[in-house]
Structure 1
Amino acid sequence: MHERGFFRPPHAWVGDVIPWEEDGRFHLFYLHESRQTPKVGMPWHRVVTDDLVAFTETGPALASGGPDADDFNVYTGSVVVADGIHHLFYTGQNPERRGADGLPLQLVLHATSTDGMRSWQRHPAHTFGATAGYETADWRDPFVFRDEAAGLWRMLITARHADGPERRRGVIAQCVSHDLATWEPAEPFWDPRRYIAHECPEVFEWNGWWYLVYSEFSESFTTRYRVSRSLHGPWTVPADDALDGRAYYAAKSAARDGRRFFFGWIASREGGVDDGAWQWAGTLSVLEAEQNPDGTLRFHPPVELAESFDRRVAAVASGTVLTAPDGYADLVLPEAVPSAFRVDAVFDIAAGTTECGLLLRASGDGDEGYLLRLEPRRNRLVFDRWPRRRTGGEQWQISGDVPFAIELERPVTLEPGPHRLEVIVDGDLCVATVDGAVTLSTRLYDRTTGGVGAFVGEGSATVLGLEVSTPGAGSPSSELDDLLVASS
């Protein structure tokens, strides 16, 4: 993998990211998951980036406290600055320790830095656990921010009520402080009684809108957001409240020059195969958010990453028509593509069309490969592959009754007309974006080679443009942008 726009440390994986922007540079603290057995204790490492394309690992940031410490595992938290001092709040967990309710104990801990985040001084006296009414096992991911209107600091905490239906005790608890040392319990910040837990919470204001972001630890593992005109709610549920799909998790954000970026991880799969179970931690991936007039957000990879793929290696002639009124038609470009490439395609979808989209790492005849399928009748983007998993030796023993890769679908409005499908592939990573607004990230393990193509099923789509590009050193073409505008 080129790690252009992505990052994974050697022989390890990126867990939850704690982003901090300062003087134009993003400092990305992250949970360094080594997957060693026996466990060695989770530390924080730090990676920095100026351009969101190249990432530099600076090494350990906050080490495990050791086997006898409250913070044997240093889990997710946040960073703030006050009076020139950096304050780091984080979760401490030791699997050998239990709370008063018999559950594995989680605690909030505090450290400070006076040398520009090069070293951290722990403050054990400031450690505290779950307040009354909450389980001791879920007291994590402290997010601290300044509430200037109230003249105090607020801390949001992933927590669970001690009582209630087991699956619906999740709550974002809240504590407040005037000195960042002593914290007092306050009313819950958000209490929907809907999920097991709301991990990695954060809140921020942007152009008059407030956003509450959290990762749903429940039936769906994905990062979601809520919108309000006030820090205190009520919070509105957007029609599409997810940043991405199942594979992209624990995203938290930082802003620079009026732009906001989310830093999460694309989960790996067990065994490094397409059918492997999703694992905790993976590869750092960045999404940029843009605001709609109603406060809702659209997401796509940073333009800096797209622009780094500026050497065109293949294309489909503009105006190519794929039509199959009651069947299927495709085309596969003859050019071989390397492990890292970008596809930028615009399809003018005819009314009544069932499906169209892109083939990735496809066989020459298009019969095998990965598919990113736009489905206008269902208003969704799905990820699929052929051949599908075999369940036995007989011809009929395949998972053909599964209409696409489960958990890898995204809602998107697909009215007749032009729609843009952009895809960045780097090694086993794949990030797709529809109309610069809806993203879907996943892994491509089993097929490592093949071509790029386009297809249509039961309908017609005109390819207004389709370009395949690889990393280069020049400036990207704007032809497809012009085509999309002209056709809208």
Structure 2
Amino acid sequence: MVSPQGHHLPLVAIFTNCTMHNVQSQSLAYSTDGGESWQMYEGNPVLTNPELADFRDPKVFWDEQHQQWIMSLAVDQVIQFYHSSDLKQWTLSSEFGRDLGAHGGVWECPDLFPLKVEGTGLQKWILLVSINPGGPNGGSATQYFIGEFDGKHFRADHTETLWMDYGPDNYAGVTWSDMPSTDSRRILIGWMSNWEYAKDTPTAPWRGAMTFPRELGLQQTEQGIRLTHQPVGEIEHLFLGPSLHHQERKIINKDNLTEQLCLPEHCQIKLHASWQNMASSSWCMAFSSTVGDQLKLTFSLKDNELIIDRSQVSHKINNAMFSNKIHIPIDLTHGIQLTLLKDTSSLELFANDGKSLATLLYFSEEDLTQLHLGINNPNVDFSLHNLEIQPLCSIWHTKSE
């Protein structure tokens, strides 16, 4: 960041410092050259550990209403809130979560921020809390709480556990703070893996990736106010060449929807479909390769559930949990609208205006170049209103660029 006078404004990093004896505390570093170099604050640590094993992951923001800094900190299986006037002296304000939420594992990576409920003037505060293990499909996951924050205390409006993403591979996500004043979006990015098998993923020379950035929102639903997710609009900068369209098409048994073109390695897929007389039926999407790899998504109308089977795309990964079926609750009462981001080894699914979310890795022997849609009952009326396959370019620069 550069001031109008051409000088770099100071930057402050707030982070968890861990000693050789695994004692975690919070420290500061600062930069006066735009982040090129950093100096440790001589008064570190600014928040010492009260002899706890897990005391980490500070997320700090400026509370304009109360003119103070707020720190959210993961402490064992609760979140503690601290306040400060100068980032150097911190006072414990309150604690949250001892009797709420999922407690199958340690709590990590909190994030607290306000959001407006779509179509209203109502503002709510959202608290994100990642947990490992204890996710709805095993291992790592992120839960969220909706409520009020008065500068010291966060109080949730609900008692049920709300999961941000039912897929197994979206963890420790946090949002950008201090977006430009002209941009009111709340944007999140997460770690796209799961601690149950992160060390087993067959990639080299790098390991792991981040999710595509998502814009967060709040919507009023029949179940209450819920968090929504959509890929950020900047994805349009990755659009490559013309898209493939299918419109107003009846699906009978199985159709190969990429019969005119191989499915790109990187693409955005948008689908809108509806059905009649399918109350006890199901339909599926299957991504496949020429050598037998298959990633299968089955939409069960009877159970309002999406079941993902990646047992046939677990190439060179030796972990039993990876092949377990993934269950995602999803409202299929009135049809479906889907946005999917398919990459070389990941699928990010956003359903029904982003109210249902599933992020997952897969590892196929060959590229998944075919997409099939099928129904399990030829006597039902399944209408594919629109399907668009948009190729995406890679963010990695090639030698020719």
Shorter-chain TM-score: which interval? 0.7 to 0.9
Which of 287, 303, 315 is the equivalent residue of 2:214? Answer: 287
| Mapped partners of 2:172, 2:359: distance in 1 | 13
Which of 347, 354, 357 is the equivalent residue of 2:284? Answer: 357
Counterpart of 1:14?
Answer: none
| Mapped partners of 1:386, 1:363: distance in 2 | 17
Which of 146, 163, 167 is the equivalent residue of 1:245? Answer: 167
Which secondary structure state, in structure 1, belongs to the residue aligned with residue 324 of structure 2? coil
Which of 247, 262, 269 is the equivalent residue of 1:343? Answer: 269
| Mapped partners of 2:308, 2:242: distance in 1 | 25
Matched, 1:309 2:239: yes
Which secondary structure state, in structure 1, belongs to the residue aligned with residue 234 of structure 2? helix
| Mapped partners of 2:54, 2:390: distance in 1 | 46
Structure 1 residues 280 and 213: CA distance shift in structure 2, 3 A:
farther
Q: How big is each residue's C-alpha offset from its partner over 1:361-392, in whole Å with a ceiling of 9 and x where there is no partner?
A: 3459xx852122222222122321464889xx
Counterpart of 2:249?
Answer: 319
User: Structure 2 stretches of 5 or more lacking a match?
Assistant: 3-7, 117-122, 394-401
Structure 1 residues 389 and 281: CA distance shift in structure 2, 3 A:
closer
Counterpart of 1:210?
Answer: 125
| Mapped partners of 1:200, 1:407: distance in 2 | 27
Counterpart of 1:370?
Answer: 295
Matched, 1:125 2:47: no
Which of 370, 381, 398 is the equivalent residue of 1:451? Answer: 370
Structure 1 residue 414: deviation in Å?
0.8
**8 Å Cα contact 1:142-1:158 kept in structure 2:** yes
User: Structure 1 stretches of 5 or more lacking a match?
Assistant: 1-21, 24-82, 98-103, 161-169, 324-328, 391-398, 473-488
Which secondary structure state, in structure 2, belongs to the residue aligned with residue 267 of structure 1? coil
Which residue identity does 2:231 align to in structure 1?
P
| Mapped partners of 2:148, 2:95: distance in 1 | 19
Matched, 1:178 2:85: yes
| Mapped partners of 2:148, 2:242: distance in 1 | 44
**8 Å Cα contact 1:332-1:362 kept in structure 2:** no
TM-score (norm 2): 0.76
Bigger proportion of residues as strand: 1
Structure 1 residue 201: deviation in Å?
0.7
Structure 1 residues 369 and 312: CA distance shift in structure 2, 3 A:
farther
Percent identity over paired residues: 19
| Mapped partners of 1:444, 1:414: distance in 2 | 25
Q: How does 1:95-106 map to 2 (within 5 A)?
A: 96-97=20-21, 104-106=22-24
**8 Å Cα contact 2:314-2:323 kept in structure 1:** no
Which residue identity does 1:252 align to in structure 2?
V
| Mapped partners of 1:332, 1:273: distance in 2 | 30
Which residue identity does 1:251 align to in structure 2?
G
Q: Give the CA RMSD over aligned residues.
A: 3.4
What number of residue pairs does the alignment pair up?
352
Which secondary structure state, in structure 1, belongs to the residue aligned with residue 302 of structure 2? coil
Structure 1 residue 283: deviation in Å?
3.1
Matched, 1:109 2:27: yes
Matched, 1:235 2:161: no
Q: How big is each residue's C-alpha offset from its partner over 1:17-60, in whole Å with a ceiling of 9 and x where there is no partner?
A: xxxxx79xxxxxxxxxxxxxxxxxxxxxxxxxxxxxxxxxxxxx
Matched, 1:471 2:392: yes
Matched, 1:259 2:210: no
Q: How big is each residue's C-alpha offset from its partner over 1:54-100, in whole Å with a ceiling of 9 and x where there is no partner?
A: xxxxxxxxxxxxxxxxxxxxxxxxxxxxx953221101124x32xxx
Counterpart of 1:89?
Answer: 14
Counterpart of 1:77?
Answer: none
Q: How big is each residue's C-alpha offset from its partner over 1:192-211, in whole Å with a ceiling of 9 and x where there is no partner?
A: 36523321111112232111
Structure 1 residue 242: deviation in Å?
1.4
| Mapped partners of 1:423, 1:321: distance in 2 | 20
| Mapped partners of 2:247, 2:91: distance in 1 | 64
Counterpart of 2:382?
Answer: 461
Matched, 1:219 2:140: no
Structure 1 residues 287 and 119: CA distance shift in structure 2, 3 A:
same
Matched, 1:152 2:79: no
| Mapped partners of 1:174, 1:157: distance in 2 | 6
TM-score (norm 1): 0.64
